A = this chain, B = another copy of it.
């Protein structure tokens, strides 16, 4: 069973802020010994509470100037069509996130691109012509107020 106590929460919280933390640094933050942190960390990885570790790269430094949200409506809602669309989305590296939502649009995609030409290419040459897709509407990100993937672990201590 996956039970997570207060020590685990401290470890998880610290690691989602800095995934390269040493077990000894972790130990200080959590109030445990390094060896125990190592054991707990390994258990959390084993149980897939920690799904992985990733370097966070600077999109600016690497020349990705455009983030866009793309709302996509499918041509039909058949399982086959849906499957085709999912395969397409999975294949395109520029698409970081893809969700189906309640509300108007069938799907919302978040894409990262070098420039507007890249977005145009994605929308007009890849998404639009695909047989599964009926209509596409894209919005460009003007300003990024906040971007992370941290879970609000503080909520768990209380509840």
Q: Taking beta carbons and an 8 Å cutoff, which residues of A are in contact with B?
A: 2, 4, 12, 15-20, 47-59, 61-64, 67, 69, 86, 89-90, 93-103, 107-108, 112, 114, 118, 139-156, 159
Contacts and interface: CB of A to CB of B under 8 A. Distances in A.
How many copies of this chain? 2
12 contacts: A12-B55, A16-B57, A18-B52, A19-B54, A49-B61, A53-B55, A54-B150, A64-B152, A90-B145, A93-B150, A100-B143, A103-B139
Given A49-B61, A93-B152, 12 more contacts: A12-B62, A18-B53, A18-B54, A19-B19, A19-B54, A64-B151, A89-B145, A90-B145, A99-B141, A99-B143, A100-B142, A101-B140
